[in-house]
Amino acid sequence: MSVIDEINNTPIFGGIVVTAGAGTGKTYTLVNKIQHCIDSGINPVNMLVFSFTVDAANELKNRIKNGHLITVGTIHSVMYQIIRENSKKRYFVLDNSYQKKFVFDIFKELKIDYMSYNKFLSRVDLAKNMFPEYYDMLENRDQNLLSFFENNHKLIGFAREFETKKEKQHKITFSDFQLKAYDILRKNPAILDSRQERWKYIFLDEAQDASNADIAVIMLLAEKYKQLFIVGDIKQKIFSWRTG
């Protein structure tokens, strides 16, 4: 029996994780599982498929019959859709050039050496990937986050001012997408329920590339129906998963 037959013979309902090495047909397996679900009577409108590049998302749509009815997108694109449709504010994305000026203005105010730009930004971005509740942790001076920032007072001061200033100006960066969407969903039960009813069946490709923040949002969306199909290569895993 092939791996495709084996996956398709498992119950459609419930969580399934497929791990395999590079070049073994993980995406092929994912595509066939989605098609099998559709052929078994599941409405493609109720499916959400996460990919990690726009090209991969488009390819998935083209390879699946009635793929145009499925929500297929990158983590960032789906999260940004949730933000646009449900946030009380209209946020604008900071592009790289404006972000540099934005950060340097904060550095100037806080008397931080401009040479810290890459170090501070990369540390903040990594913290956002690791801690889904980053905003609350930062506001409440959570010790786990402060320890991650090595109790560096200038870095902590920058991180707080960076979020305060962005929020006042309705700005977000790409690393904010998952966190903002997560905040919207977990703090607004009606919005979460609406998304869960729409996306009852969730599929994740290249799961090894998912951050803790990515997984937190996906698990929240899948919490009601627990219809989650994941494929990935654990040997290439970048982030550790934090699902509890």
> In angstroms, rounded to a whole number, what is the distance separating the alpha carbons of residues 221 and 65?
24
Query: 75 with 175: CB under 8 angstroms?
Result: no
Contacts of 87 (CB under 8 A, 6+ apart): 180, 184
What pLDDT, on a 0 to 100 scale, did the predictor assign at position 95?
86
**pLDDT by 10-residue block (mean), the chain, 244 residues:** 42 62 74 91 95 84 87 94 94 90 96 96 96 97 97 98 97 96 97 97 88 92 92 61 36
Going by DSSP bridges, is the β-strand pair 47-51/171-172 parallel, antiparallel, or unpaired? unpaired
- Beta-strand ranges (E) seen in 124-182 are 171-172
What pLDDT, on a 0 to 100 scale, did the predictor assign at position 243?
35
What pLDDT, on a 0 to 100 scale, did the predictor assign at position 241?
40
3-class DSSP state of 19: strand
> In angstroms, rounded to a whole number, what is the distance separating the alpha carbons of residues 99 and 127?
18
CA distances from 114 to 90, 117, 146 (A): 30, 6, 22
What pLDDT, on a 0 to 100 scale, did the predictor assign at position 12?
45
> In angstroms, rounded to a whole number, what is the distance separating the alpha carbons of residues 144 and 212?
15
> In angstroms, rounded to a whole number, what is the distance separating the alpha carbons of residues 18 and 197?
25
What pLDDT, on a 0 to 100 scale, did the predictor assign at position 73?
92
Which token pair is 134?
A: 């980053």
